[in-house]
Amino acid sequence: MAAHMNIQTHDRLLIIDFGSQVTQLIARRLRELNVYCEIHPYQNVTMDFVHKMAPKAVIFSGGPDSVVREGSPRPPQEIFDYGVPILGICYGQQVMMQQLGGKVEGGKISGGGGTAEFGRAYVKPRGEKLAVLDGWFQNDDDHEQVWMSHGDHVSKLAPGFEVYGTSPNAPYAITADVSRNFYAVQFHPEVHHTPNGAKLYENFVRAAGFSGDWTMGAYREEAIRKIREQVGDKQVICGLSGGVDSSVAAVLIHEAIGDQLTCVFVDHGLLRMNEADEVVSMFRDNYNIPLIHADESELFLGELDGVSDPETKRKIIGRLFIDVFQKHANAIEGAEFLAQGTLYPDVIESVSFSGGPSVTIKSHHNVGGLPEKMGLKLVEPLRELFKDEVRALGRELGLPDSFIGRHPFPGPGLAIRCPGEITRQKLEILRKADAVYIDQIRKHGLYNEIWQAFVAILPVRTVGVMGDGRTYDFACALRAVTSVDGMTADYYPYSHEFLGETATRIINEVEGINRVTYDITSKPPGTIEWE
């Protein structure tokens, strides 16, 4: 079921996805403007669909194909008669020109003399001032940095279009048919490297008459109404992990249906120091949410005994998690729904026609397949949100900032921060070292600058000297990365003072560690976790 069918009260914008790597960023820019939008792959966008969704404006994304290739992606021709403003980006521009009577030529990507363009470019104004460019060119000598990434180019404008901006390699960098509110640009205004790009989106949605009614307060009320409608008087189960997504989903659903919600918290014995107690006290005591604390650490650690292969660890944990969850959920009388903290990026990824990565780097831990196995229907109240919007909703629901701002923590927990065999002793040492490290980060005011930070305990012992004695203890590695989405990451540039102080504290305060290293690998080529 398409999410848009449920949304009745917001102004809506439709993004037709032609497969660009950065389509999600268009949605980000729009959401930042309090505009509700949805991305749909072009194959799904029929006029029937458009009439049902009733968008107030449409954006065509970029894409990897060439419009001169027969059979390449198109939106329905009638969308140009639908009567709403349209903005075409890159491939989207070329599609517009081609379908409206202009011409596009294939670029010569190699061989010189072509007009293919990749990377930074500068656009200068041409002709009259265009309202959607307000805040761009102040005078004719001005230029704006933009990000280009195209092989083909428009060689003839469609009737009714004028040029409003050019770059050395893109004579039709900015074009528009103002009378119909059609705008088409050759560059990508949604990316970081088009510094003034957000302004273009802002002006576009303003011209399209959006009121900016997509606020978290409104979202919360609507989500609550929808949950009540969907669930009626039935029981709902929610798997709590202690992470932000499942927590926000749980609190929201609890607000909607109260005691019809029971949370199941599977404690696999691979959590951080005090984590289980914190989750239980927050949800059971603070929010009064019925909560089953399934302490299954014996089971998990037992099955992991002697296992050192990373994928085997992940598979064992994933399988046990499902078994255990099922066992506890079955005990809940009359449950018909399973709540999940699925986010919008997961939804888009699963419908993406360009496909996901073809190689499994790591098998991610999730509860996919559970609903079918248990015959449960899904409640996914965060399906329309991005991660930072989930955080905003959490704040709206009164979850403490310290909780909402927490770094991500992987489903398999400390198992993947303990390369080699997992033992209780190593887990104990790891928990203590991690707690000291995080305390250091907080004390130095760095926690919110870092995407994720943790300690990994290494499967080697090294020799040291403390006091007058020899030590032979574990080495550990500190990890801290900056990232926007976890897909790529860079190591955090701590000062040497910070690193030195932290190493000293860990060695002094944590028995079992006598050597501390700092991991300065970026992703790629590394991954964030060690396994």
Residues designated as active site: 90, 188, 190
Q: How many CB atoms lie within 10 A of CB 122?
A: 13
Residue (98 or 452) nearer to ligand XMP, CB: 452
Residue (176 or 270) nearer to ligand XMP, CB: 270
Shortest distance (Å) from residue 24 CB to ligand XMP: 17
Residue (112 or 357) nearer to ligand XMP, CB: 357
Residue (67 or 248) nearer to ligand XMP, CB: 248
Question: Helix H segments across 232-309?
Answer: 244-257, 275-280, 297-304
Distance from CA of residue 173 to its chain's centroid? 30
Shortest distance (Å) from residue 112 CB to ligand XMP: 39
Shortest distance (Å) from residue 497 CB to ligand XMP: 27
List, in order, residues 6 or more apart from 221 with CB less than 8 Å away.
none
How far is Cα 99 from Cα 92, in angstroms, rounded to an integer? 11
Residue (179 or 358) nearer to ligand XMP, CB: 358
- What contacts 24+ positions apart, CB below 8 Å, involve 366-372? 366/318, 366/411, 367/239, 367/321, 367/322, 367/325, 367/340, 369/322, 370/322, 370/325, 370/326, 370/338, 371/338
461: Cα within 13 Å, side-chain hemisphere: 9
Shortest distance (Å) from residue 501 CB to ligand XMP: 25
Contact, 169 vs 121, CB < 8 A?
Answer: yes
How far is Cα 286 from Cα 298, in angstroms, rounded to an integer? 28
**Strand ranges (E), 432-482:** 452-466, 469-482
How far is Cα 74 from Cα 18, in angstroms, rounded to an integer? 8
**For residue 130, what is the DSSP state?**
P
**Residues of this chain that bind ligand XMP (CB under 6 A):** 362, 364-365, 408, 410-412, 452, 486, 523, 527-529
How far is Cα 362 from Cα 486, in angstroms, rounded to an integer? 14
Residue 271 in tokens: 């959590």
Shortest distance (Å) from residue 312 CB to ligand XMP: 13
3-state secondary structure of 381: coil
Shortest distance (Å) from residue 340 CB to ligand XMP: 12
Element (H, E) at 207: helix 197-207
How far is Cα 531 from Cα 523, in angstroms, rounded to an integer? 13
Kindly give the interhelix angle for 496-509 and 424-443, rounded to the nearest 10 degrees: 140
Residue 417 in tokens: 């921060």
The strand pairing partners of 339, in sequence order, are 238, 379
3-state secondary structure of 297: helix
Shortest distance (Å) from residue 172 CB to ligand XMP: 40
Shortest distance (Å) from residue 383 CB to ligand XMP: 17
Shortest distance (Å) from residue 487 CB to ligand XMP: 7
How far is Cα 103 from Cα 26, in angstroms, rounded to an integer? 26
**For residue 156, what is the DSSP state?**
E
Backbone angles phi, psi at 358, to 5 degrees: -85, -15
The strand pairing partners of 295, in sequence order, are 267
Contact, 393 vs 220, CB < 8 A?
Answer: yes
With 0-12 / 13-18 / 19 or more C-beta atoms within 10 angstroms meaning exposed / middle / buried, residue 110 is exposed
Backbone angles phi, psi at 17, to 5 degrees: -95, 120
The strand pairing partners of 379, in sequence order, are 339
**For residue 285, what is the DSSP state?**
I
Shortest distance (Å) from residue 307 CB to ligand XMP: 16
